[in-house]
Amino acid sequence: MISFVEMMHLALHVGLPHFLLLSAVLFAIGLFGLFTKKGIIAVLMCIELMLNAVNINFIAFNHYMPATDLSGQLMALFSIAVAAAEVAIGLALAFRIYHDHHTVNVDDLNHLKG
Amino acid sequence: MNDLILSLHRLIDMGMTMAEELGTPEIILAAVFYVFAGISVLGALGVVLGRNIVHSALCLTASFIGIGCLYIFLSADFLGAVQFLVYGGAVAILIVMAIMLTRREDMAHSNPSRSIPHQLAALVVAGMFLLAMAAVALMSPFQTAPADIGDTVTGIADLMLTKYVLPFEIVAVLLLIAMIGAIILAKGVDES
Amino acid sequence: MNFLAIGTEIAIALLMLIVLAADLLLPKDVSHRRIGVISMVGLAVILVYTFGQYHIGASPTFFGGLFFVDNYALFFKQLFIIGMLFTILFSLEYTEKLLRYRGEFYVLLLSALLGMCVMASANDFITTFVGLELMTVSFYILVGARMTSEDSSEAAVKYLIVGAASTAVMLYGMSLVYGAAGSLVFSEVCRNIHLFYAAGLAGVIMVIIGFFFKLSVIPFHMWAPDVYQGAPTPVTALLAMGSKAAGIAVFMRILYTAFPILGNFWLPLLAGFAALCMIGGNIMAIRQTDIKRMLAYSSIAQAGYMMVGMAAADLAGMKAVLFYAMLYVFANLGAFAVLTVIDTERGGTSRRDITGLAQAAPLLAAVMTISLLSMAGIPPTAGFAGKLYLFTAVVERGYLWLAFVGFVMSMISVYYYLMVAKAMYRDLTPEEAEYAAPVYVPLTVRAAVLVSVFATLGLGICPEWLASLTNAAVQTFMR
């Protein structure tokens, strides 16, 4: 086992693992929300959290790796653009669901069944 | 936009020189990291645990901004600015608008969760994911050699307009399609 | 810069813009069939053009090999274009009668096609991701395009939530692969030994899970039945043939070119999930009463058959997958053309709605039966030849049990396909006399179903025609 002092030293020496852990924590929180939230808008917010966690990964890798170019940052940029498009569609759909079914709860959408 | 980036740069540089003068740059860097990481994690928890969906949306924005600051910490200043503008600005406003358009009578309980057993199951799944990824993050011997990439705006522009010009154009089509889609989906409601 | 390499994509994007402009110029209360005709003519020209792009030597690339137009990609592009062309053809009537935003519908179809074509050629994770998202975002909107139907919006929301979440999982995997391999380009990823580290393995697993979501592989399939049932019928057709084939195309390229060194690890995984899909999909399809929902489970099983070929991981296996993907398109065209007519005329696609179709529209009943038999793999339809190729390829690689599972499950699938045939051909009771009234079958639908039947039977009798094309496609894979 590593000692407390060593652990403190590791924790204070900010590096790649810190960012990977942070992104894993954010992704896990988003995942938890995805499974537990009922409202469509809340679910979409959780998905946005997950996508943000991924971007942290890309940018952290791009910064700390012996990278030759900025393709990690570029991927994060495209991911932001795509996420914005997805959230626009998602919110328009939430609006329509609210109109069609008079609810925004995912659990109440159970007309389609086998 | 450029001014924003420049002033951010200046602030970061100032922080770095200050840290070096103090002789303890590590601790200061760690403090900066933990503050912003704390903001983003607390914000994320607020999204998931909040009972009022407006509060959740505010927490989400705080989380986005914390993450944006971390991008700048990682010397991805352009991405940080994009994060503030797109997530902290556009997406946050879009979400608040959607909340207002789908109003409920009782805002205090507007962000319901599923039953406790459901939550426990989700907790187990998320916890297992977290453990697995923590193991990956701590055990993989990544080669780290932070290189000074320099001006990221130029670097990204170079990539985007040479090697990755096709994805760039496709994203433009994607945004057009998303616009058309959002319009017809929301407009269809009015006319039916 | 070799613009000829992206000629197909440029042409589709131009066609999309032309259709968008034409829709704006056309008065609102006028028939929008002419816009459909413009799209079809354009797609037919592009299809002919792609035949000219087949080559023997080195493949043309765009920007340093990031966009690879090998014969493999061309084959899949033709498959998407054929699927789209005939879907527009048989859904002209449906679009005119049941959809409100008709011009935008065609624009969205073409943008989905553009995304698929980009995916087929993509040779790095950025292009893959962007193409995939263009396709899925277009499909989110298309699934919700039937404004008057509440099922349509419900299906769209479910598709969007699952689709966006699976995108997040796949992106997380891509980020870990990027971290381990230090690059996003397939040819550089595959050379990097660091892929064997925990991060690389975790990344590969998450990318594979992301694709399993997109291909609706059991146990990541829960969205597919609801979405297939709720979506407008032509869109369901495209989800089953286009979206799935595009997923297969890029999944196969990623596995074979980016992660080949981990082959010992993902091949058994692929074989296991293929078996799970074939068993689960076919068994769950039996108790469905809605034909679209049944075809959703059947498409899960079909994805399983195609993964059998991928598990073979050699030229014969790839050839079989390509062959099967193409014949599956023709079988789906027939089945969904019939369902589209039923949906337009009788307002539903349950087994009740197809009762007595043999008397109401004998042509449609016959086409439906032949298409379903092709999906089940009964000779002399093309499905039999396709399954023969798939199972022989995998048996040669030593997966005898997998071929056995596939064979048994194909036999079981005949049961529920024939249940549909029985509903169409059985004698009507006096109370059901209304179902014998003739159903109006537009000329366009007749043309589409005849093509699909001729292709299904023709390829069943002379599979060599298509086999030579798949040969050409496989021989230049990544060359």
Q: Kindly write down the DSSP assignment for every residue of C130-175, as one continuous string.
A: HHHHHHHHHHHHHHT--TT-HHHHHHHHHHHHHHHHHHHHHHHHHH
Q: How far apart are CA C255 and CA C190, in angstroms?
A: 10
Size of interface B-C (CB pairs under 8 A): 97
Q: CA–CA separation, A103 vs B138, rounded Å?
A: 44
pLDDT band at residue A2 under the 50/70/90 scheme: low
Instruction: Output B169 or C475, whichever has higher pLDDT.
Output: B169
The arithmetic mean of pLDDT across residues B108-137, rounded, is 90
Q: Do A51 and C168 touch (CB under 8 A)?
A: yes
Say whether pLDDT at A32 is over 90. Answer: yes
Q: C255: closest CA among C280, C273, C279?
A: C273
Q: Which of B171-185, C54-68, C337-351, C411-425 has the lowest mean pLDDT?
A: C54-68
Summarised one tens digit per residue, pLDDT across range C286-324 is 999 999 999 999 999 999 999 999 998 888 999 999 999
Q: How confident is the model at residue A45 (pLDDT cuts 50, 70, 90)?
A: very high
Q: Give the tokens for residue C390.
A: 């798939």
- Do C55 and C476 touch, CB atoms closer than 8 A? yes
Q: Which of A40, A69, A71, A77 to mutate to test the interface with C (most CBs of C within 10 A)?
A: A71
Question: Alpha-carbon distance C307 to C357, whole Å?
Answer: 34
The span from the first CA to the last CA of chain A, in angstroms, equals 54
Residue C92 phi/psi, 5° resolution?
Answer: -55, -45
Q: What does the DSSP assignment read for chain B?
A: -HHHHHHHHHHHHHHHHHHHHHT-HHHHHHHHHHHHHHHHHHHHHHHHH-SSHHHHHHHHHHHHHHHHHHHHHTT-HHHHHHIIIIIIIIIHHHHHHHHHHT--S-GGG-S-B--HHHHHHHHHHHHHHHHHHHHHHHHS-----------HHHHHHHHHHTTTHHHHHHHHHHHHHHHHHHHHHHHHHHH-
Domain spans, chain B: 1-130, 150-192
- The rounded percent of chain C whose pLDDT value lies above 70 is 99
C-alpha distances in Å from residue A55, one per residue of B79, B145, C15, C170: 10, 20, 34, 12
Closest A-chain CA to B100 = A95
* Confidence category of residue C261, pLDDT binned at 50, 70, 90: confident
Task: Tell me how crowded residue A11 is: count the other CB atoms within 10 A of its CB.
Answer: 13
What would the pLDDT profile of C310-369 be if each residue is shown by its tens digit? 998 888 999 999 999 999 999 999 999 999 999 998 888 888 888 888 888 999 999 999
Q: Which chains touch B (3 or more CB pairs under 8 A)?
A: A, C
Nearest-CB residue to C118 (from B141, B170, B184): B170
Q: Which chains have 3 or more CB–CB distances shorter than 8 Å to chain C?
A: A, B
Report the C-alpha gap between C266 and C259 in whole angstroms: 9
Binding-face residues of A in 48-77 toward B, CB within 8 A = 48-49, 52, 55-56, 59-60, 62-67, 69-71, 73-74, 76-77
Q: How confident is the model at residue B15 (pLDDT cuts 50, 70, 90)?
A: low
Which CATH number fits the domain B1-130, given the four candidates 3.40.640.10, 1.20.120.1200, 1.10.645.10, 3.20.20.70?
1.20.120.1200
Judged by CB atoms closer than 8 Å, whether chains meet at A90 and C129 is answered as: no
The pLDDT, as a whole number, for residue A67 is 67
Q: Which amino acid is at A83?
A: A
Contacts of B117 (CB under 8 A, 6+ apart): none
Give chain C positions within 8 Å (CB) of A71. Answer: 126, 178, 183-184
CA atoms of C473 and C122, how far apart (whole Å): 16
Percent of chain C with pLDDT strictly greater than 90: 70
Q: Are C114 and C16 in contact (CB under 8 A)?
A: yes
| Average confidence (pLDDT) over C17-23 | 94
pLDDT level of residue A114 (50, 70, 90 thresholds): low
Residues C79, C82, C87, CA angle at the centre, nearest 5°? 125
- In this prediction, residue B20 carries a pLDDT of 61
> Least CB-CB distance to A45: which of B56, B102, B137?
B56
Say how many Å lie between the first and final Cα of chain C, rounded: 19
Tokens for A65? Answer: 């790796």
Are the beta carbons of C372 and C417 closer than 8 angstroms? yes
pLDDT score at C59: 80
pLDDT at C325 (0 to 100) = 95
pLDDT of residue C343: 92
Check residues A98 and C61 and name the one with the higher pLDDT. A98
Distance (Å, rounded) from C-alpha C34 to C-alpha C24?
A: 13
pLDDT, tens digit, 9 for 90 and up, residues C112-125: 999 999 999 999 99
How would residue C428 be classed by pLDDT, with cut points 50, 70 and 90?
A: confident
Chain A residues with CB under 8 Å of C63 CB are none
How high is the pLDDT of residue B95? 93
Comparison of pLDDT for C140 and C1, the residue scoring more: C140
Q: What is the pLDDT of residues C214-227, one digit of tens each?
A: 999 988 999 999 99
Contact C19, C25 (CB under 8 A): no
Provide the 10 A C-beta neighbour count for residue A80: 20
Nearest to C178 among A20, A72, A96 (CB): A72
